[in-house]
Amino acid sequence: MSDNKKPFFFILSVLLIICYTIFEKNSYHKEIIDNKKTVIGKVTEYQFSEYDYLLTYEYEVNEVKYKNVISTSFFKCKDGIRGCVGKAFNVSYSSINPKKSDINLEEYNKFKD
């Protein structure tokens, strides 16, 4: 392969990865929206990772406990608790696959990535 084609294939590969990631994220959220059920969940952990903060929440569906993680930027609840650990929020999940979920952090949703 000639040297002038390498950048083209690299850029094409990066674009394909980005498109696939966007498609997967939209597909994940579409399944939740199309088959939406809601329960109360609880934020259980909030920790810094290499580039962002990871918020872990737990919820229960039909006596089965689930855990999910989302990335956020740094935030505190009004009472000063980092990441609202210990606080309860609505969790929407797919009735087809309850492992797929999204936590509604209400006024703190703006910090979700």
Q: 56: which strand partners?
A: 45, 69
- Residue 62 to residue 52: CA distance in whole angstroms: 32
Query: Using one digit for the tens of pLDDT, what is the confidence trace for 42-56?
Result: 999 999 988 899 999
Q: What is the pLDDT of residues 69-95, one digit of tens each?
A: 999 999 999 999 999 999 999 999 999
pTM of the model: 0.77
- Residue 94: beta bridge partners? 36
- pLDDT tens across 89-112, in order? 999 999 999 999 999 999 999 999
Which secondary structure element, helix H or strand E, spans residue 38, and what is its range? strand 36-48
Residue 61 contacts residue 53 (beta carbons within 8 Å) = no
pLDDT greater than 70 at residue 21:
no
Q: 92 near 104, Cβ under 8 Å?
A: yes
Which sequence spans correspond to the domains of the chain?
A: 35-111
Query: Using CA atoms, how far apart are residues 46 and 53, in angstroms rounded to an integer?
Result: 7
